[in-house]
Amino acid sequence: MKDHYDVLIAGSGVAGLHAALQFPPQVKVLVLCKKELLLSNSALAQGGVAAVVDKEHDTCQLHIKDTMIAGGNQNNPDALEVLVNEGAENVLNLLDIGVDFDRDETGGLQLTLEGGHSRRRILHHKDSTGREMMEKLILAVKAKSNVDIEENCMLADLKQVENGFLAYVLGEGHCTQMTANYCILATGGIGRVYQYTTNSAIATGDGIALAHRMGAKITDLHLVQFHPTAFAAKQNRERFLISESVRGEGAVLLNNEGKRFMDRYDERLELAPRDVVSRSIMKEARRVGSNNFYLDISFQGADYLKNRFPTIYSRCLEEGVDITKDWIPVFPCQHYLMGGIHVDLDSQSSIDRLYACGECSHTGVHGNNRLASNSLLEALVFSRRAARHILNRMASEPHPILSKGDDLPLDGMPLPSGLRTQVRDIMQSAHFVVPNPVAAREGMKRVKKILAMLENSHYAVTPDFIETKNITTVAMIILEEVNKP
């Protein structure tokens, strides 16, 4: 790791890697990867990436309409126009780096359907699209001589200095200071704020909490999406997803009595948007007095299911469920964040030279609820726009004066155990699918006390401390928004 880079990118999912890919050889870039490169929400994305590539049967106007309906018409129309109109180009460019989207019998791109979409427009690689994209992006970025990738390093703190930033990079037992002209936050979601989540272990809201401490505008953090069909495991906190595309290929939801029920709640049945299906499951749970729900796609045939959904088939089999003949136990689970660091159409935050893209950002494209498979699309489109905007600025702006700051205290009191569990319990009762105002008010008081203790006590600055502080900060912001009159 050098002392200075032109661009610092915190996060190594699709948004961070795609941004790094855009910079020419003369621009020196550092990508910080919190753990290993394939541990990210991006790599867990199953269903695919939505884009209007079949102009004969689909239009950008239809994609925009579908997204607006799913988002409750609260989407930012300007950002949505950018997302959809630039989407196909960004997605098809992935073919140039070897991304292997599934093909039909004629050799054309095979498109699938997901909840909320009125046309088949989802490009996919079996049921592991995110991993396929990540593997090819990693290879492409590693081939660039101007990009350094540091694994097992997290951005612990960021301070503005003249013409740039001073960054504190926390590794295993050490902290390094470096400077950068520009910073792109691509740190992903907030799943670990909740007791149960489909998110990876590193999704602790790091970029959002850091930007908040710097004074950046944070928008709509209470808009949390709960996916209706996470596998209802008995033990694991991290729950694997039964992709939207399973319902897109005909799977039906069943209650504890083995009966379909979506017709009670929405005419779109299982293909209603995610928030609608999640709320419907909660209503049905109250009606029948049970949290036992299932997804059934066994009627599609064993060979088809093993080929179309190999990852889901294998993971369910590990849990003792054979999707070719068994019902899949499912229940809503924290999945995605629509709010985040507020950015403009070029992914610029309210702080000069600080950009954000991917799930940690708030572009406004999702409105109140994300349409399936628009997340990878947003990561691609707005990371590219961030890089292009930085390149345009670099031509005329000065280099920063190198700056050093005080070292972070790596020695200090050990962090008390159980703080994250307290915060997660609060969030699970206060803001799960349908907010609980009473629990949210009481929860906010408790979370503020925990955060004050973390900020005012002399704990050793470790990755665990930083993550715990970030989780608590994000929980506080969400509860403050929920408690607004």
Beta-carbon contacts of residue 417 (< 8 Å; ≥ 6 apart) = none
Neighbours of 391 (CB within 10 A): 16
Distance (Å, whole) CA 341 – CA 339: 7
Interior/surface letters 412-445, b for 16+ CB within 10 angstroms, e for the rest: eeebeeebbebbbebbbebbbbebbeebbeebbe
Q: 3-state class of 443 per DSSP?
A: helix
- Please state the φ and ψ torsions of residue 69, each to the nearest 5 degrees: -60, -45
Q: How far apart are CA 113 and CA 111, in angstroms?
A: 7
Query: What are the strands, taking DSSP E only, across 259-389?
Result: 293-296, 328-337, 340-342, 354-356, 361-362
Helices then strands (H, E): number in the chain? Answer: 14, 19
Instruction: Let me know if 370 is a catalytic residue.
Output: no
Which is catalytic among the residues 121, 131, 192, 274?
274
Query: What is the DSSP secondary structure assignment for residue 122, as one 8-state letter?
Result: E
- Please tell me what DSSP assigns to residue 230: E
Q: In whole angstroms, what separates CA 324 from the centre of its chain?
A: 30
Q: Which of the residues are catalytic?
A: 274
